Structures are given as C-alpha cells and as structure tokens.
Structure 1
Amino acid sequence: MKKSIDERKLLRCTYLLCILFFINLSFLQWPLDYQAIVMAGVICFVIAYTYFIVRKFFPYGDKYILVFASVLSIIGIVMIYRISPSTSIKQLVWFMLGETIFVITVVVLPVVRKYSKMRYVFMILTIIFMSMSFLFGTTKNGATNWVIIDNINLGIIPFLIDIFKKIGLSEKSLILSISFQPSEFGKIVLVAYLASALKDYENWRDLIEPAIIVMISLGFMVLQRDLGSVLMFFGISLTMLYIATSKFKYVIICGALSIIGAIASYNLFYHVRIRIMIWKDPWLYATDEGYQIVQSMISIASGGLFGAGLGKGFPKFVPINTTDFIFTIICEEMGILMGIAIIIIYFLLFYRCIRVAISSDDNFTALLAVGYSAMIATQVLVIVGGVTKLIPLTGITLPLVSYGGSSMVTVFFALGILQKISEENN
C-alpha cells in the first residue's frame, strides 16, 4: 500500500512539473501560446491513462520505471517545443506511440521466459538489422545509419482518399516517406540474442558464437561510421558477458581486443582519426569538423549552474540541437544543475531496471533485464560524455529526451519488457 501511495505522489509531481514547464513556455510570447497548455494536458492524460491501465491489469510490478521514463520524456518534449514547436508535436506523437507500445507489451505479451528458445531467430534478426543501413542506408551527419523509404502511396487504400478530401487535404498528402535507424531495433534483438545464448553458459566454447555475432555487429557499425553505436553495443555485450560468466578474465580479454580494434580502426578509417583529433583539441578545428563540440562547450559554459532561463538561450547556435546536442541546450537554459538532475533521474531509472534483474528467478529474463538496463545507461554515458568532451563525440540520441521516433519506440519497448518481467516476478 505504501509503495502505491509513493508512486502516486511521484506521479502528481510529474504532472505538476509538466504543467509548470509548459505554462512557462506559453508566457514566452504574447498573446499567450495556448498550444503549449494543450500539449501539457495531452501529455498528462497519456501518462495517467498508461499508469491506470498497467496498474489495473498488473498491480504488483515496479511502476517507478514508467514514472521516471515519463519525466525524462516530458523534459525532452519541453526542450524540443522550445526549439521547434512543430517538431515537438511529432515527438508527442512518438511519445504516445511509445507509451502505447509499453502498455501492449505489458498487457498482451506472453510470459517473457518463453522467448528464450528463439535464439536463432534473434540471431538472424540481429544480422539483418545491423547490415540494413550498410546495404540500403543514407548518410546523415556523417554516418550511414538511416534507411529512407520514399514515395509510399497511401492512396491504394480507397477510404483514405475520401477522408483526406473531407478534411481539406490533397491527394499528395497520401504520399509519404519513412525514415528509421535499423541499429535502434538491432540493439533490442542483439540483447535478446545474447540473453538466450548466454543463459546456459558452461565454458568458453559457449562464447564463440556470441563473440562472432557481436564482432559482425560492431564491424557493420564501423563501416557505417556509427561510432556511437559501436561504443554502446560493446558496453552492452561486455556487461552481459560478465553477468553471465562472472569471470573478470573475459572482460580483460575483451578490453585488450577492443584496444587492438580501436588502433586498427584509427589507422584504417579517416572518420575515426578525425573524431580523436577533435577530442584532443577541438579549438584547432573550431570552424570546421570541431564546430559542434566547440559550440556545445560554449553553450554549457554560458548557462552556468542555474542557466539563462527557459527560452532565453541561443539554441540555434548549436547544430543538431533537438537530437545529439539536446543535453547541451538543457544545460544552457536550465543550468548544469538541471543537467545533473537529469543524470540522477537516469541513474534512478537504471537502478529500478537492475532491481528487475536481481529479483528474476530465470537466467534468460535476468540477462534480458541487465542488457536493456545497460543499453540505456551506456547510451546516456556515451552521448553526455561526448557533448561535454569527456570522450570523443559520437552521434547518438539521449534516450527518451532527444527527438526521434526509432529511439523513443525502442526504449519504451525495452522498458515494457522490463515492466513485464517485474510483474512476472511478483
């Protein structure tokens, strides 16, 4: 009972945070921006409805996972609205879809441990997703990690034409293009594959096949210049390896192999060399390749501890400000203290997710929970470390905060799996 009361108190604080943020945004222009108030109402309704459905069907699991994820999503939508209101509406749609997938995963998905027998299905899907961008991808921001499908004609569905005409839209509106990052879906199935492959570990021979699949995945990411995914997948794999085997010698061996691979990549690929050179001295490349990280450092420094104030920063000076560098904009306008608060929320989310793994009585679900927890934590460390120059900059999104449908959907699906495991353990 006390746990439920505490959840509801935190949920009310989440609604209050959302309302205050968007009221602040509505006062940034005159007359008042009522669209911001509507956004707040929609977000609060979606979170409340999701919480109600999950608690109604499964009252015993860890609902803090949903609450912390919702807080991070609110902060992201607020900052995206501040930068580009039209883009924030798209993000709101992705958020609603993500929460819907979360609910469907928890309510409809069968017992998770049953999927432990789908090892080779996960392996095939991993290879397909990891190779997709290399074979069919389009280059954006220096990395070939997007697949774009153009000229999708919804006009083949007769009733859609009538609907579009009634609301005043032309038939051209029925022709769409879809873009997504296969690696976002690849990391989901990679974790599932590793969990099913490592659950019955007995000796080093059981590691040969998973090692080959991981090396193939990392190889495709290097060829696609997606260095952020390389670091993320390596971190996930290493974490799951250690949890499955409890042998630190494997971690040392993997670390040594990664150093050899990093040196080889540095010598073979120009984009790896330039990232390292920028990291060592970004000011030397301040007007060229290092422009992004230099502007990020200037923006964070100008915000100071308490920030310039929501709506009083200069986000247009920072490239890719709704995705890779959204953490920079948050620190500029709401301060380094807000940046630290966000990291603490991520830590709390990671803590709740790891609790799911600890309470699991099945190796597959425990490894699955560890893998998805490590996925979120590694992604946060890589992008926050990159924009603050702690590590070489790599272009990945900040989970739940950055703009992006692929990332939002896959993270909520992973959290839905964790929520489902949590419910099964109670």
Structure 2
Amino acid sequence: MASIDNRKEEKRILSLVYGIGIIAFSIIGLYNNDSIAYLIGIFSVVLIGYGHFIISRYFPDGDKYLFVLAAFLAEMGLVMLYRINPYYAIRQITWLTVGVAVFILIVVLFPDMEGIKDFKYYYLAAAIGLLVLTQVFGSDIRGSKNWINLGFIGFQPSEFSKVFLILYLASELHDFKDRKGLIMPAAAVLVSLIFLVLQKDLGSALIFFGISITMVYIATPKIKYVLSAVVLFLIGGAGSYFVFSHVRNRVNIWINPWKDPNGAGYQVVQSLFAIAWGGLMGTGLNLGYPKYIPEVHTDFIFAIVCEEFGLLGGFAVIIAYFLLVYRGMRTAIYSEDNFTRLVAVGISTMIGAQVFVIIGGVIKLIPLTGITLPLMSYGGSSFVINFIALGILQKISENTK
C-alpha cells in the first residue's frame, strides 16, 4: 500500500515538473515570439519522463524522489537560463541529457556499492591528482584558478575531486577503530584544502571541509575531532584573509557592499535589489531585469528566481533542496553497511553545503564565494557531477533495508 502511495506522489510531483516546463517555456515563447522555447520545453519534459520511466520500470526498489526532486530543480534552472539567455539553456539541455544518461547508466551498470570500497587509494589519487592538475594547468577566472580549459571545452576538476574524496573517506573510515585511523584521511583533506586555498577556490574549500567533518563525525562519532577541525579551519581562514587580497575583497564586500555599490559591491547590491524588487509574489516570468546582475546565469541565478517568482518561488527552491538532502540522509539511515552509509552522508552534505554557501552569498548571509547552485546554475561539470552523485545515491537506495 505504501509503495502505491509513493508512486502516486511521485507522479503528482512529476506532473508539477511537466507543468512548469510546458507552461513556463510557452510563456517565454509567446512573450518573445520564439518557437525554439516550445521545443526546449517539450524536449526537457520528455527527457525527464523517460529517465523516470526507466528507473521506475526496471529498478522499482530505490528512492525515486531523488530523481524527481533533481528533475524539478533542473527544470526550474533551465527555464531561468532560457529566460536570461537562450544560448545558456540550449547548452544546458545538452548537459541535462548527459546527466540523465549517466544517472541511468550508474543505476543500471554499477555493481553492488559495497564492492567498490576496496579502491580507496585510486579514489585518493584521483581526488588529489585532479587538484594538482588544476594547480599546474588551471586558468585564472574571476580571481580563482579553478578551471582547466581544453580549448573546445572547460571543466572544474574540483567538482569531480569532491566525489572521489567522498569515496576515499568512506573507504577509509567505514571500519574506524581508533584515532590512528584518522591520520591518512586528515592528511588527504589537509592536502586538498591547501591546493584549494592556493587556487583561491575558497568556496570549494568550504564544501570539502563540510563534507569531511560530517563524515568524520558520522564515522567516529566524537565531537572533539569535529571541534578540533573547526578550530584549525578558522585559523586557516583567518590566515587566508591576511595573505590573499582576493579573500579580503570578498570579506569587505560582504561586510559593506554599499561602500562601493557601483564597483566592487555592484554584484551583491544588484542581487539584493532584485530580491527586494520581486517581493512576495515576484514580478512575473520575463518581467525581471537579470541583465543588471553580473554572472546571473551561474553565481546569482537564485536572485533572478526570487525577482521573477518572488520569495515564495525562492522558498520553493530551498524546500526542494532541503527535501533532496533529506532523502539522501534517509538513504544513509537505512543503509545496511557503514561504507554506503558514509557515501550517502557525504553526497548529501556536498549538495547541502553547496546550496548553503551560494544562497548564503547571494543574500549576504556569508561572503560570496563564486560557486554554482547545484542542478540550476549554468555549468557542465557541476551539472553532470551532481547527477553522477545522485545516481550513486539512487544505487545505494536500491539496496537499503
């Protein structure tokens, strides 16, 4: 009976996703006399429906809400990107296709998740190696050296490094016995953070740290290890403030963006104006002013959601993220072994921390760090890696109690 109720609820949420896609893209198409908008809307809905059909038809035991909630967020992001600039949405629909395909392939082809815990040194090598490659070959973009440009395509190695770090920490900590077992994981995290600080990618450093302390606490569980790590991280953050002018600028903008509203603080100020202008109900789709916010398609997409859909739309997005993280943590609770439990916790923390960091920066709760909003912002590497992570979560949920 519960399974039937779940399927009905999934279909209700999917109907909402389909409605958002068709109605929103129809509004954009009518408003701009743009026939391509209708095609993007129809294709995205068909793609999401096909993905849900495959995992429901052939793998009925897992938590389908993971895919459904991800689909809602991806569809909202696609609508806003097309509204900002159709070029971004057309590129993003390609990444959505790749993401859904990879999600399905992981669920279909991955072996039992417990069987991959013996490759911890490969995970460690991949996690650190990607950061080393960035340090050597990375390009400096907006103050952070966190991209590798291959000419025809660019990607952020730190996005992939996060997942490899999660797999490594889960492999290392699943049979934790005493504090000696923390030496290697602590060294791996420290080396990762050093590279991220050198690359001035402090947003990713904060997420790496959040993932690490959460997994350590779940594996040990001893609050003293977490508190020690927090103290060291704060010391490192304070040191970065005095060493890097880039970090000082971000903190100073956070403290008072109105000091230079047309210069250094322009991005944050325009974001706050957009959120305030949207009010509770929003200006309406296609009636906002995204062109006034620099990098609105990546760092500040949440601001234009709040402007055109209002605070109610912003809260809807936040609730969807909360439910996605909750379903991930729920998967961890019902996992039958420590390895998959830690992987599920790490992935859920990765998504939750990234959402907190970027939305916190957009609303001036914390200093802006310049990372993307998962599943909504424009960006191939971030988009695909989140679907990979959710595919792993989906696979874990197939084998829960």
Counterpart in the other structure of 1:54 = 55
Give the C-alpha shift of residue 345 in structure 1. 0.4
Matched, 1:340 2:315: yes
Q: Aligned partner of 2:166: which letter?
A: V
2:8 to 1, 5, 8: 5
Give the C-alpha shift of residue 9 in structure 1. 2.2
Tell me the secondary structure at the aligned position of residue 150 of structure 2. strand
Q: Aligned partner of 1:385: which letter?
A: G
Matched, 1:304 2:279: yes
1:256-267, aligned counterparts within 5 Å? 256-267=231-242
Q: Deviations over 1:187-206 (max 9, x none)?
A: 01011111111111111111
Q: TM-score, normalised by structure 2?
A: 0.97
1:21-420, aligned counterparts within 5 Å? 21-29=24-32, 32-150=33-151, 177-420=152-395
Distance 2:263 2:213 in 1: 35
Give the C-alpha shift of residue 255 in structure 1. 1.2
Give the C-alpha shift of residue 228 in structure 1. 0.7
Distance 1:223 1:149 in 2: 21
Distance 2:266 2:140 in 1: 19
Give the C-alpha shift of residue 13 in structure 1. 2.1
Tell me the secondary structure at the aligned position of residue 59 of structure 1. coil
Give the C-alpha shift of residue 2 in structure 1. 2.0
Q: Aligned partner of 1:73: which letter?
A: A
Tell me the secondary structure at the aligned position of residue 14 of structure 2. helix
Give the C-alpha shift of residue 285 in structure 1. 2.6
Q: Aligned partner of 2:320: which letter?
A: I
Distance 1:261 1:275 in 2: 16
Distance 1:424 1:104 in 2: 17
Q: Aligned partner of 1:392: which letter?
A: P
Distance 2:260 2:140 in 1: 22
Distance 1:79 1:383 in 2: 17
Q: Aligned partner of 1:121: which letter?
A: Y
Give percent identity, aligned residues only: 48
Tell me the secondary structure at the aligned position of residue 325 of structure 2. helix
Distance 2:315 2:202 in 1: 25
Distance 2:250 2:226 in 1: 26
Give the C-alpha shift of residue 27 in structure 1. 1.9
1:422 to 389, 392, 397: 397
Tell me the secondary structure at the aligned position of residue 28 of structure 1. helix
Tell me the secondary structure at the aligned position of residue 27 of structure 1. helix
Q: Which shows bigger deviation, 48-57 or 32-41?
A: 32-41
Distance 2:287 2:334 in 1: 46
Distance 1:378 1:264 in 2: 22
Q: Which shows bigger deviation, 310-319 or 2-11?
A: 2-11
Q: Aligned partner of 2:304: which letter?
A: I
Distance 2:240 2:88 in 1: 36
Tell me the secondary structure at the aligned position of residue 139 of structure 1. strand
Distance 1:351 1:323 in 2: 25
Distance 2:127 2:175 in 1: 20
Distance 2:242 2:15 in 1: 53
- The structure with the larger Rg is 1
Q: Aligned partner of 1:40: which letter?
A: G
Structure 1 unaligned blocks of 5 or more = 151-176
Tell me the secondary structure at the aligned position of residue 335 of structure 1. helix
Give the C-alpha shift of residue 262 in structure 1. 1.4
Q: Deviations over 1:293-352 (max 9, x none)?
A: 111111111111111111111111100010001011111111121111100000011111
Distance 2:99 2:331 in 1: 20
Tell me the secondary structure at the aligned position of residue 322 of structure 1. coil
Tell me the secondary structure at the aligned position of residue 390 of structure 1. coil
Q: CA RMSD in A?
A: 1.0
Distance 2:75 2:352 in 1: 19
Distance 1:384 1:376 in 2: 12
Q: Aligned partner of 2:352: which letter?
A: A
Give the count of matched residue pairs: 398
Give the C-alpha shift of residue 85 in structure 1. 0.7
Q: Aligned partner of 1:5: which letter?
A: K
Q: Which shows bigger deviation, 283-292 or 364-373?
A: 283-292
Q: Which shows bigger deviation, 379-388 or 254-263?
A: 254-263
Structure 2 unaligned blocks of 5 or more = none
Distance 2:144 2:238 in 1: 20
Give the C-alpha shift of residue 69 in structure 1. 0.1
